[in-house]
Amino acid sequence: MSSPVTPARDGGPAAGLCATCRFRQEVRNTRGSSFSLCTRSREDPAYPRYPRLPVLDCRGYERAAGEGGEERAQPA
């Protein structure tokens, strides 16, 4: 199942599902670049630490609280 590409929270490049996922942690380096860290990767090696964006399909996706809309978990 594909989803529309969602712009990143910071107005940067589109992050797809990561932009609204509760498992996304934004990491910034000293030069100001930002990266989407998938915190699910800490417990499950099947998830990439820094997924290639935009992520259009993810079996572990869960909408973050406060992002509106229904939770759209992907079937396993």
| 1 falls within a domain | yes
**Amino acid (1-letter code) at residue 16:** G
In the numeric block, which tokens belong to residue 6?
A: 């969602």
Question: What's the structural domain count of the chain?
Answer: 1
| 69 falls within a domain | no
| 71 falls within a domain | no
For the chain, list residues with pLDDT below 50: 1-3, 8, 71, 75-76
In the numeric block, which tokens belong to residue 63?
A: 């909408």
Average pLDDT, the chain: 82
In the numeric block, which tokens belong to residue 54?
A: 């935009």
Three-state DSSP class for 40? helix
pTM: 0.69
Handedness of CA 39, 45, 47, 51 (dihedral sign): positive
| 10 falls within a domain | yes
